[in-house]
Structure 1
Amino acid sequence: MDVVRIIKSSEETEINSLLESRATNQAAFAGRVAAIMEEVQQRGDDALCGFSRRFDGADLKPTQLRVSQEEIDQAYREVDSEVLSSLKLAKDRIERFHQKQLSRSWFQPEPDGTVLGQLIIPLDRVGIYVPGGTASYPSSVLMNAVPARVAGVKQVVMVTPPTSEGKVNPYTLVAAAEAGVDEIYKVGGAQAIAALAYGTGTIAPVDKITGPGNIYVTLAKRMVYGQVGIDMLAGPSEVLVVADASANPVYAAADMLSQAEHDTLASAILLTHDQTLALAVSQELERQVAELPRQDIARQALTNHSAIIITGGLSESLELANLFAPEHLELLVEEPFQWLGQIRHAGAVFLGHYSPEPVGDYLAGPNHVLPTGGTARFYSPLNVDTFMKKSSVISFSRESLNKLGPDIIRLAEVEGLQAHANAVRVRLKG
């Protein structure tokens, strides 16, 4: 049996099955998440410590939840100097890219004395969630914290699950220090989201929570939305590769596996009108997956949530790509820029044979926190605007109110809001 199925674009049932397989059964987890959230609200730090013992195997006291400066200093002594250099390079590139996104407040005066405008204001305090525990994701630290700093956020708080020894991975700590994170807490899962939203004795509440996590984190973010802001509801990782005869099957297979190794629920899809390439990629997937340390995870992702789809041509491939609205979209085609205008829905687009998805994960500069599960139809990547809010500015002069007041009164009265009309009318009489 092939590690990944090969289907035709005309097989609508198979295509719909792929689209539907990206949905997660959240109902099975909602009750457990709600119970965790309620306990954190009621018991604060004691609940956080209890959940750390239960889920992470870490025996922490409330006074040990916050990472100390000594722990950060120790982390710098433990990390490899070359990796630190790479982290600094990534931080600089991410910072330069996001600085180009900065918007400024603006004001537009008019001849009659009216002044209209918009204040663009950074948030006061944000919380970033970084997966952790047995794994290390310093790149996620940079992708969340750097744009927050570029936006001008006053306080950036990070939460991440501890190891069973009650520690945080040194690379995660160093990345946080390099990115300018103000506070770091050893807490993960739904309980971390609750702490950021509601506050505990140790952790003060934030205005917005960003960063990807597992199903518990995602559901917790959904539950606290409205109490605080959130960036998006992230699901399993996904890549969609559009390829023509110019593509190297070794490259295409490697790029598919770069997402399949993330998670058993990850999705890796190839769209091509070249049947020879489709077969070659299928063979490469089987060869390469056998060499991966995480091959069991990758095999499940390829078997259950992935496919090679043979289309009628490059235009049809791009139409299907827009239907999937993938997190990552690669164009392994001869003239990628020629086709870029046909892309409407994708979290990030990677053009050409030498722009594999991991380039975006680590060092290119654009953010790797991206919409998943088709939400690229209406969500954007994490960006500087995520950490800012806008306030409208309105200043009318007597002249401008006299001029426009009668229209305002008419519209208010049509809506049956007499007091609205009167607030203008009394000024016109005056």
Structure 2
Amino acid sequence: MESRPPLPASTDVLVVGCGPAGSATATWLARAGREVTVLDAATFPRDKTCGDGLTPRAMLEVDRLGLGSWARDRITIEGLELRGFGRSRRVPWPAGEHGGVGSAVRRTVFDDRLRQTAVDAGALVVDGVRVTGVERGDDGEVTAVRAGDDRIACRTLVLADGVRSPVGRMLGRTWHRDTVYAVAARSYVRSGRHDHPWIGSDLELRDEAGAIQPGYGWVFPLGDGEVNLGVGALATSSRPAGVAVKDLLHHYARSVRADWALDGEPRSVTSALLPMGGAVSGVAGPNWAAVGDAAACVNPLNGEGIDYALEGGRLLAELICSGAVAGSGRAGRDLTRAWPELLRSTYGRSFAIARDAARLLTLPQFLPLAGPVGMRSQALMTAAVRCMSNTVADSDRDVVARGWRAAGSIARRLDRRPLFAD
């Protein structure tokens, strides 16, 4: 067993977590010439509960990182095959500034490649190290973190430690479960259609008793002999998910076995809770900020988080590099307000309306009424996929884009709790 490299006594930027958000932040900071150290509690390659899909928006960031050809060579995804309520519709990814092509790479492979990209950029990445404590000065600035007996001083701290964000909790980050969230389960299954260039998305998700669940089932072809098969159930604290998601996954696998030529039973079944749509407060302090899943940057309508993690990492790196971040007694930019304001300006409208739409799906009467109506219209489902995949660009001026932005602005004004609340 290889011994890990010694931890530095100090670093300019310390990133906790080496998933997509942490790796992207570290890569962009290192490319800008900053001294970056990344710590991750797991040992790579490591797994994560996820659908493994890369939307066109995610692929735009993958291209920026220089990994576009690598991802597309594994498999190219053209769009979604939607099923439900007696109908099926094939909806290509929307064309536009995000491009019209997606991909899928299992997280054991994708995250390890992103980790290596950060290393190649000049970041020091050390896995198998768990942060156990945070030191702060009287002004609230983080001065150092502790990892067992080690102490690492830092000028800036980035929290990319996932949905539970243990280090974020030490700093006051709070997840608000009264806002819609998801309970998801994922597995891998051998499939005769592993190279199919369309994602399977089942909008009529029923349990073994035949009851419709407020959620979705998915099948992501991986091009390597297997598919990623999973389910996600939407819930709030007042309307918790009333189903065991792992049991639901096995039932879903049986229901799509013939369609996807599944060979064998689901394996590597894992489950997770997913905070969504910016439903957290305390995502930043004077010289620290949470990014990706730690900031609940997950689409409430489809559970997608990789695109926001990669994009958010780049945006946070740009913000940190745009001026000296306050820290170690230096004057500089205070991230306490700057980072939440940037998150709200970037994702506020789309997250707000998506949260409201997802909350409607948790009402038992809504999906049986709305689902059949939506599936009857190709135009409506095309518009829905465009909004769900977050590929409505600010430059788009068509009726769908204008309507989505207008609805999002109204939803933000009416929201009971602001996104990324201070």
Verify same fold: TM over 0.5. Answer: no
Higher gyration radius (CA): 1
TM (norm. structure 2) is 0.29
TM (norm. structure 1) is 0.29
Greater strand percent: which structure? 2
